[in-house]
Amino acid sequence: MPISEFLHDDKAFDPRDLKAVGEAFTAALAKLGLTGQEQLAETVARRIIRAALAGERNLAKLTAIGVSMN
């Protein structure tokens, strides 16, 4: 499932940043074993999107934020 399903405005990110956010989302879902679990995937997506909107662009950091339980 692409992270774009959870973005209200994908124009908030340039294509390179959107790619990083999407890759972080995919990696976080894989680490958590959440493939096909839409409600939990949305929580992960929201964490990553919030961090990216706040300026984080590092793929590893975005992934870590997505899998964190805070």
pTM over cut 0.95: no
pLDDT of residue 36: 72
**What is the pLDDT, as a whole number, of residue 23?**
94
- Is residue 62 in some structural domain? yes
Residues spanned by the domain of 20? 13-67
Q: What average pLDDT values come out for the chain (70 residues) when binned by 10 residues?
A: 80 87 93 83 93 95 90
User: How many C-beta atoms lie closer than 10 Å to residue 66's C-beta?
Assistant: 27
3-state helix, strand and coil shares in percent for the chain, rounded to the nearest 5: 70, 0, 30
Q: What is the DSSP letter of 5?
A: G
- Domain assignment present for 5: no
Q: Does some domain include residue 48?
A: yes
User: What pLDDT score does 44 carry?
Assistant: 94
Q: Is 7 helix (H, G, I), strand (E, B) or coil?
A: coil
User: Helix 15-32 vs helix 38-53: angle between axes, to the nearest 10 degrees?
Assistant: 140
What is the model's pLDDT at position 13?
85
Q: How many domains does the chain have?
A: 1
